[in-house]
Amino acid sequence: MANYILKRLWQALICLIGISVIIFFLSHLSGDPVLLMASPEATQEDIEELRRTLGLDKPLYVQYWVFISGVVQGDFGQSIKWSKPCIDVWLSRFPNTLLLGSAAMAFSLIVGILTGVLSAVKVGGWFDKFGKIFALMGQSLPVFWVGLMLILIFSVNLGWLPTSGHGSWKHLIMPAFTLGWYFTAATTRLSRSAMLDVLDSEYIKMARVKGLPEYLVIMKHAFRNALIPIITLAALNLIMLLNGTVITEVVFNWEGIGRLVVDAIFARDYPLVQCCVLIASMLFIATNLFVDILYAYIDPRIHYH
Amino acid sequence: MKGVKLAVAVGVFALISVFLVSYSFSAETGEPKGKFTYVSPSGAWEFKQIDPHTIVGSSAQEPSRILFDYLLYKDPDGQLVPDLAEKWEISPDGLKTSFYLTKKAKFWDGTPVTAKDVKFSIERCMRPELKFLRGGQLRRTVDRVEVVNDYHVDVHFKQFDPAFIDVVAEYLAIMPKEYTEKVGDDGFAEKPMGSGPFRLVSFRADAEVIAEANTNHHRKVPYIKTVVLKTVKEPATRLAMLKTGEADMIFLFPGHIPEVQKDPGIKLMWTKHAFLRTLIYYDMGFPDEPSPFKDKRVRMAVSYAIDREALSKLLYGAVEPWGSFLAPYHPGYDPSRTPDPYDPKKAKELLAAAGYPNGFDTVFTGHITEPTLWQATVAMLNEVGIRARLDMPEAGTWARYCTEGKFRGIGYGAGPWWAGRGPGSCLEAHVSGFWAPEGHPYPELKESIENLNKAILKGPEEEAKAARAVDDLMLEKWTRRPLLFSNVVFAAGPRVESYQNIPGQYWAFRLEYLKLKQK
């Protein structure tokens, strides 16, 4: 197991270096931040001076070396737009993203798994039909539309919830539901199909023949075995949520990572874009590794070589 | 008896007059009351927190405007009026501008605003590492700043800078020298101090600024006690906030105008003539390459093919047809200059006369922020045979193409969005620099602009005459064509009694004059 983890860490490192090269050169190809920052009256001389001040006059490979050697020491560089260390800007937004992501994740897991399991147990029944419609709507309705409809109903018409922003639990309800519903849909469908597969297996039939109570058959024997694909999906969803969800953040004016990255891209704030993408990659790799280890715990038959 | 009646009448009249005068006086000078929330999409005050000397191209200016004072200000007619400078004079050769400061102005900590603070602020803006938007211009033109006495400061120039007054009125926030030096640049950005009509209470970058009335302000003690500036990028969310009362005033998306008009509780407040949109013939910038647009008749045909009234209706009045390169608040503006008429028949005739009876293919470049406008424009051009392909690069690419002069065919000119400035700066932007990637093929136009810049020193009448001459020449040569003037629209909720912005401004200024209805 230790060897496996070490091997995965080595792969992760290579992967991160590759990502850093790609993101660095691609973002520099997309345009020049100096042109967005300069005054319309700026002369070529002013533009060059601004470029020097920002360190963008150096050759690209020198800029990359400065960037990557900083990253190794935990310094992701200075945001061009915010005039602050990129990591500080990222950290200022991450708690909001974590809060929204966790709430949406909790909602999607609780509702999705419950609906999926119950639909599988009562397959073909009214709850199964409801679950299918619920999942279909969650995946097919555009997130911005759901968000705006919620604002219209619960804020403008009923006056129960604030339209946007953050600060209290009331602010969290609509964005968490909007975001969570989309992910709930996939969780519901996957839980249902995984449970149906397991419930049809021989050992479940054996457990029933042995006279085990139905809740024990479902929760202890079926559900645990159906968990592996659900955990994989949940882990991927979690990473997506922690890296920010632009549309929901924009509609509900949630100050999260998603909005930050998009604004940074439009402002050609290369260091901030690089910082956010690298951290996102690290999170992705770390979560995948964690899930792989978790598989072995859930299913003792899994071995790593 | 008559005398007694007269005395009683005079007495009653005097009492009523005293009451009315004292009432209006107390209303004007009363304590600031209430909380006002303004929501806009522009949250670009993240540049070094709230340090106005780090402002860059796309920064919103509302926070700087409420927290800091400037040497000059603008009234609701768009004319320069005193702020920290009670009086200003430009020497006949243009190499010195003197500012005489008010003795009433104080920073929030009670320190008087003096000439040394003005000198410090101008010199600070010139520091390259602060990346101040107009720093390059100041470094090129300002020779030195001289403190004559505590309330008199002279700015000496290496060469006359006709746009300096624009910088003074728009960007040059005055900061306290001693405090800024004591806390340093980073300290100031975290905890700024100004002398503006509001004092900072709290600040979250790109999200929210909360400020309270400065009851010692020298020019205008605000009517409102607390002002909250919020950033919300989604237009529908801003509208929802206005409807629920979470916001008192919002920067309105023009597409929402019809919905707002149906709501009796919401009123529209316009800031007229914020920026002029022109039709640009980019191919004129390539004198050695053939192009249909080299023929003036083709350029005329393009303009006649566009129905400006229809475009105005499409955006519910957020743009209006325009026929001059000057705005009403510019000296020299002539209201008789009407927009080119919509005449597709004439456009086709002109094309045929120019040798294009079956039209031709070209590219129309529009800005990505207003696709509806440019899609409609392209459809109109296609109607007369100018088969234009619409290209809308995103903002960064657009900026790069502008600088590198890569645009071809025709397109929309965003110049200048800072129409509130003097006519010299505005007209110059149409013929050279960033906003004029097509350049200007007529040398007499450059000469005419130079005359205008010199005429500023000769007084308002001469300036107006020279500005009109430039406008005439540009219209005559068809280098580019006035198309639409953009108006900014705000929507205000039932609590707002009155608000009047500075014409030509994109941002919500003069919030200290905004009145809320009293309960």
Sign of CA dihedral A246, A248, A250, A256: negative
Lowest mean pLDDT among A33-42, B8-17, B472-481: B8-17
**Is residue B117 within 8 Å of residue B172, measured between CB atoms?**
no
List strand residue ranges (DSSP E) for B366-479, in order. Answer: 386-391, 410-413
Which residue is closest to A157 within chain B, CA to CA? B244
Using DSSP, state whether B481 is helix, strand or coil: strand
**Mean pLDDT throughout B250-262?**
95
Q: Do A114 and A101 meet the contact criterion of CB atoms below 8 Å apart? A: no
> To the nearest whole angstrom, how far is the Cα of B263 from the nearest Cα of chain A?
13
Distance from C-alpha of B283 to C-alpha of B363, rounded to nearest angstrom: 10
Confidence of residue B21 (pLDDT cuts 50, 70, 90): very low
Helix (H) or strand (E) holding B487: strand B480-492
Q: What is the pLDDT of residue A79?
A: 85
3-state secondary structure of A15: helix
CA distance A77 to B331: 48
Q: Distance (Å) from the C-alpha of residue A165 to the closest C-alpha of chain B?
A: 9
If phi over 0 gives left and psi between -120 and 50 gives alpha, with beta otherwise, what is residue B332?
Answer: left
**Nearest Cα residue to B185 out of B132, B114, B109:** B132
Sort residue A220 into left (φ over 0), alpha (ψ -120 to 50) or beta.
Answer: alpha
Q: Is A282 helix (H, G, I), strand (E, B) or coil?
A: helix
**Mean residue pLDDT across chain B:** 88
Name the residue type at position A81. Answer: K
pLDDT tens per residue across span B66-113: 999 999 999 998 889 999 999 999 999 999 999 999 999 999 999 999
Nearest-5° Cα angle at A148, A147 to A153 = 100
How much is the pLDDT for B24?
44
Distance CA B44, CA B61 (A): 8
Among left, alpha and beta (phi > 0; psi -120 to 50; other), residue B151 is: alpha
Average pLDDT over residues B192-211: 91
* Phi, psi angle pair for B126, to nearest 5°: -85, -10
Q: CB of B267 within 8 A of CB of B497? A: no
Lowest-confidence range among B77-91, B237-251, B304-318, B416-430?
B416-430
Chain centroid, CA B152 distance in Å: 28
Cβ–Cβ contact A31 with B under 8 A: yes
User: How many other CB atoms are found less than 10 A from the CB of residue A192?
Assistant: 25
pLDDT, residue A200, reads 85
Q: Three-state SS across B260-312?
A: HHHCCCCEEEEEEEEEEEEEEEHHHHCCCCCCHHHCHHHHHHHHHHCCHHHHH
Sequence-ordered list of residues with C-beta below 8 angstroms from that of A148, at least 6 positions apart, any chain: A251, B236, B237
CATH 3.10.105.10 fits B272-487, yes or no: yes
Q: Is the CB of B396 less than 8 angstroms away from the CB of A36?
A: yes
Q: Write the class of the CATH domain B35-254+493-516.
A: alpha beta
User: Which CATH number describes the domain made up of A90-261?
Assistant: 1.10.3720.10
Q: Which one of A37, A41, A162 has the shortest CB-CB distance to B56?
A: A37
Q: Please give the Cα distance from B40 to B488 (Å, whole number).
A: 12
pLDDT averaged per 10 residues in sequence order, chain A, 305 residues? 79 87 81 70 76 82 87 85 87 92 93 91 88 88 93 95 91 94 90 89 88 85 84 84 84 91 82 89 84 74 63
Q: Which residues pair with B485 in a beta bridge?
A: B276, B320
Q: Which residues pair with B391 in a beta bridge?
A: B365
Cα–Cα distance for residue pair B131/A31, rounded to 1 Å = 19
Contact call for residues A180 and A103 (beta carbons, < 8 A): yes
CB atoms within 10 A of CB B457: 15
Contacts of A156 in chain B (CB under 8 A): 240, 243-244
Q: Which residue of B has its CA nearest to A269?
A: B396
- DSSP bridge partners of B146: B154
Q: Do A39 and B57 touch (CB under 8 A)?
A: yes
CA-nearest residue of chain A to B190?
A: A84
Rounded Cα–Cα distance for residues A167 and A164 (Å): 10
Show the tokens assigned to B382.
């296609």
Find the angle CA(A101)-CA(A80)-CA(B165) to the nearest 5 degrees: 125
Does residue B403 contact residue B435 with C-beta atoms inside 8 Å? Answer: no
pLDDT digit string, tens, across residues B36-75 = 999 998 765 444 567 888 876 656 688 888 999 999 999 9
Which residue of A47, A253, A255, A265 is the best one to mutate when testing the B interface, meaning the one whose CB has the most B CBs within 10 A? A253
The rounded Cα B287 to chain-centroid distance in angstroms is 33
What pLDDT score was predicted for residue B10? 59
Higher-pLDDT residue of A34 and B174 is: B174
Bridge partners, residue B320, by sequence = B485
**Are B328 and B385 within 8 A, CB to CB?**
no
Task: Provide CATH 3.10.105.10 ranges for chain B.
Answer: 272-487
Q: Which residues, 6 or more positions from A126, have their beta carbon under 8 angstroms from its beta carbon? A: none
Of A81, A163, A266, the CB nearest to B246: A163
CB of B234 within 8 Å of a chain A CB? The answer is: yes
Instruction: Give whichever of A212-221, B22-31, B271-280, B302-311 has the largest mean pLDDT.
Output: B302-311
Contact status, residue B481 vs residue B279, Cβ threshold 8 Å: yes
Residue pair B499/B249 in contact by the 8 Å Cβ criterion: yes
Residue B46 pLDDT: 45
Whole-angstrom distance, CA of residue B109 vs CA of residue B194: 9
Indicate whether B27 pLDDT > 60.
no
8 Å CB contact of A255 and B399: no
Q: Where in chain B is the domain with CATH 3.40.190.10?
A: 35-254+493-516
Measured in angstroms, the CA of B38 and the nearest CA of chain A are apart by: 14
Distance CA A59, CA A63 (A): 6
Give the largest Cα separation in chain B, rounded: 96
Kindly report the number of other CB atoms within 10 A of residue A15's CB atom.
14
Question: How many Cβ atoms from other residues are within 10 Å of residue B228's Cβ?
Answer: 18
Q: Hey, which bits of A1-136 come out as E strands? A: none
For residue B283, give the DSSP letter: G
pLDDT at B285: 84
Best CA proximity match to B140, nearest among B116, B113, B173, B162: B162
Among B40, B42, B46, B164, the residue to mutate for chain A (most A Cβ within 10 A): B46
Is residue A268 less than 8 Å (CB to CB) from chain B?
yes
Q: Write phi, then psi, for A94 (nearest 5 degrees).
A: -60, -40
Which B residues 239-258 touch A at CB under 8 Å? Answer: 240-241, 243-244, 246
Cα atoms in the Cβ-side hemisphere of radius 13 Å centred on B322: 27
ipTM of the complex: 0.82
Q: Give dist(CA A260, CA A280) in Å, integer.
A: 13
pLDDT value at position B441?
67
Measured in residues, chain A has a length of 305
**AA letter at B388:** A
d(CA A271, CA A284): 20
Secondary structure (H, E, C), B159-213 = CCCCCHHHHHHHCCCCCCHHHHHHHHHHHHHHCCCCCCCEEEEEEECCCEEEEEE
Q: How far, rounded to the nearest angstrom, does the alpha carbon of residue A22 sit from its chain's CA centroid?
A: 21
Cα separation of B163 and B172, whole Å? 12
Element (H, E) at B482: strand B480-492
Of A1 and B177, the structure prediction assigns the larger pLDDT to: B177
> Per the CB < 8 Å rule, is B136 touching A42?
yes
Measuring CA to CA, which residue among B214, B101, B201 is closest to residue B148?
A: B101
Residues of chain A in contact with residue B136, where contact means CB-CB under 8 angstroms, are: 39, 42-43, 45-46, 49-50
* pLDDT at residue B25, rounded to an integer: 41
Q: How far apart are the first and last CA of chain A?
A: 7
| pLDDT tier, B4 (very low <50, low <70, confident <90, very high otherwise) | low
